[in-house]
Amino acid sequence: MNTKKTFKTSMTLCFKHWSRKSFAVFASLKSVVKIGFLTSTLTILIAPQKGYSQTDTIKINKHLDIDEVVVSGERSPEVYSKISRIVTLIPKESVLRTPAQSLNDVFEYTPATDLRVRGKYGVQADLNIRGGSFDQNVILLNGINISNPQTGHLSLTLPIDIESVKQIEILEGPSSRISGANAFSGAVNFVTETDTANTVNFHAMYGEHNLFKTNITASLSNKYVKNFVAFSVYGSDGFTHNTDFRSYSLYYNGNISVDDAKVGIQLGLNDKSYGSNNFYSTKFKDQYEDNKASLTSISFDKGGRLKFHAAAYWRRFYDHFVLFRDNPKLYQNYHATDVLGTNTNFSLLTFLGKTTVGVDMRNESINSTTLGHETGDSILVPDTDSIYYKKFHSRNNTGLFVEHSYHTDKFSISGGGIFNFNTDQGLKGKFYPGIDVSYKFYKNMRIYASINSAVRMPTFTDLFYVGPENIGNPNLKPEESVTYEAGVKSASQLFTGNASFFFRQGKNIIDWNKQNSDDKLWTPSNITELNTTGIELQGMVNTSQFAINPIYGVRSLHFGFLFMNITKSTSNTISRYALDYLSSKITAGIDLRLYKNIYTNWQFVYQDRNGDYQVYNSETDGYDTKQYEPFTIVDAKLYLEHKIFNPYIEVSNIFDVDYNDIGGVPQPGRWIRGGVKVNLVFN
């Protein structure tokens, strides 16, 4: 099938923020990650590696050390091992060894995340963390909140490719006091960073269904200035009817550092169009969507005993949705969202610990043909002759936060909260507190416990959407929750892992529902209560520490397990999202040296999803209810590690399993691809 692009929307360059430090971890948390070297424990596989470092150096192999790893599961940065939360770090080296071709693919191999794919290779997917919905997490790029207020379906539209990421950080569990409103079930931060060396990297890939990808990245740095630029284009004719796609992205970040002060800038563009077979309704197979996004940010950081951070950003997003691809005029929507924000914080270190105070301010607005309130002023939609934005909505969110943390070699405590105010709620504001504690009881082993509250504002789609099968609810209240968590985590040269138990009490949870299967429209409402209970286990064995033969053998192994149960107090409605959660997920992976520098990487994922879904039946002009079936997916990669030339071949879904991530949306079977990466370093 040839890709069709029957329309386009003009792009306006916007501006978004480069976070606090070169290794910023959750920089929107106003925090920093300083990494001397990533351990082989952290860099071998995609296995999630938790914050388990000591204040003293951890010896890695015979020549690799980590002097300190500072992360932000708090508002103020702290030594990784003392953070009393589960923060999953996935470094670039681990990502590139797996069969992942997009940033979205990485979450398939992580037990705490549920990636519900609509379009493969980064086309579109819903990210859920620990049983939360796709609207209940915050997506960050170098610490800047790029979550889409229109809908979480579009939050993973990024201006970067997998080769541009230095590491991915997943903060599991509620983090409103850290990442602000909407970090209800967690937050994900994609960190990019320029190399200290001058480099040019080229990647070309080709596969079945005319799948192709070209990516170029380059770094140019000196003592004071670092520059990084990336360009990527990828696409496919699609594996079945109306699943073709094209995507282009261009990204730049740079910073100037003098002494303990730094100024950073970040610019990004993304243009993506794709066939949307059954994406939002199984009744219409010829849906089509076109997204264009831009971002810009600027930041200033000053170190010292009193640290200061300030950032300003602008994110613009265009969305054009068509119900009938070959005849857009029958039904189509245009949306243009703008997000402008600033965040500022001060952090003071004394003998009593660290105290951090600051403010986050964010304006979210939308011009749309369907979302918002009617406006007398009509704005012409770019690149159209007679279509106008006739609806508009704008809201302001302000978060005032405070946090204090105190750490010794064995004991850590961090507490604080955020007072959140949103103009959609009138003059009402509310304080959301939290506290985390941990204790090192034996060598590298630490027990931890936390209690945290969170809030999530309704999206513009929740509030206003009107379509053939959906109607919004402008009277929705914000979601709120309190989560209790406890566990143990351990790290050594041989093994890193954790065991965690969590219980989330949610109220006013928003879900799209029907009273019965005969109803034509899905409508969002606030469920009275939704309680989530979960157990998470995961670990990684670094067998390279004991490799007898350096020519071949197992380099590392990882495993993960997540079990959840979600109950709601009102069960007399048909739920669309809240109750089709992953009841269990098992992940496993192995990285093998076959001979010298030839390796293979295998990833195994088992998923068992609760709930059912409805599929349109054209014969009865009604819907049939089907149950989600458990499935197992196996992906594999064969690759050569070399300083310059790195060829590979990959196979996803090796056993050609038929499965559903989202009910009624077709998923590809076996898909073979291959490519080569060329890495050049200049003095």
Supply the DSSP string of 398-462, one letter for each residue. Answer: EEEEEEEEEE-SSEEEEEEEEEEEEGGGTT-EEEEEEEEEEEEEETTEEEEEEEEEEEEPPPHHH
CA distance 115 to 168: 15
Report whether 81 contacts 67 (CB < 8 A): no
Architecture of the domain made up of 27-682: Beta Barrel (2.40)
Q: Is 473 exposed, middle or buried (0-12, 13-18, 19+ CB in 10 A)?
A: middle
State the CB neighbour count (10 A cutoff) for residue 230. 23
pLDDT of residue 88: 85
pLDDT of residue 580: 84
Q: What is the pLDDT of residues 161-217, one digit of tens each?
A: 999 998 898 999 988 888 888 999 999 999 987 777 899 999 999 999 999 999 999
Supply the DSSP string of 51-70, one letter for each residue. Answer: ----SSPEEETTTEEES-BE
Specify the long-range contacts of residues 65-69, CB closer than 8 Å, at least 24 apart. Answer: 65/36, 65/37, 66/35, 66/36, 66/37, 66/38, 66/39, 67/36, 68/34, 68/36, 69/33, 69/34, 69/35
Q: What is the pLDDT of residues 129-149, one digit of tens each?
A: 999 999 999 999 998 999 999
Q: What is the pLDDT of residues 354-402, one digit of tens each?
A: 999 999 999 999 999 999 999 877 789 998 988 999 999 999 999 999 9
Residue 308: partners with Cβ closer than 8 Å, 6 or more residues away: 300, 301, 302, 345, 346
pLDDT surpassing 70 at residue 493: yes
Q: Helix (H) and strand (E) counts for the chain?
A: 5, 37
Q: Is 8 exposed, middle or buried (0-12, 13-18, 19+ CB in 10 A)?
A: middle
Q: Please, which pLDDT band fits residue 572 given cuts at 50, 70 and 90?
A: low
Higher-pLDDT residue of 52 and 628 is 628
pLDDT of residue 527: 82
Q: Which of 41, 50, 52, 42 is nearest to 445 (CA)?
A: 52
Beta strands 186-191 and 137-141 are parallel
CA distance 156 to 145: 11
pLDDT, mean of residues 528-534: 90
Q: Please, which pLDDT band fits residue 71 given cuts at 50, 70 and 90?
A: very low
pLDDT of residue 45: 37
pLDDT, mean of residues 57-75: 39
pLDDT of residue 345: 92
Range of lowest pLDDT (3-12, 151-160, 260-269, 536-545): 3-12
485 three-state secondary structure: strand
Beta strands 211-221 and 225-236 are antiparallel
pLDDT of residue 409: 85
Q: Name the E strands within 173-224.
A: 186-191, 198-207, 211-221
Q: What is the pLDDT of residues 309-368, one digit of tens each?
A: 999 999 999 999 999 999 999 999 999 999 999 999 999 999 999 999 999 999 999 999
pLDDT surpassing 50 at residue 11: no
pLDDT of residue 635: 97
State the CB neighbour count (10 A cutoff) for residue 604. 16
Q: Please, which pLDDT band fits residue 559 given cuts at 50, 70 and 90?
A: very high
CA distance 598 to 592: 9
Report whether 648 contacts 638 (CB < 8 A): yes
CA distance 79 to 74: 11
Beta strands 167-172 and 64-66 are unpaired
State the CB neighbour count (10 A cutoff) for residue 644. 9
pTM across the whole model: 0.88
The residue written with tokens 């070297």 in the block is 37
Q: Which two tokens stand for residue 366?
A: 């939308």
Residue 670's region, left for phi above 0, alpha for psi from -120 to 50, else beta, is beta
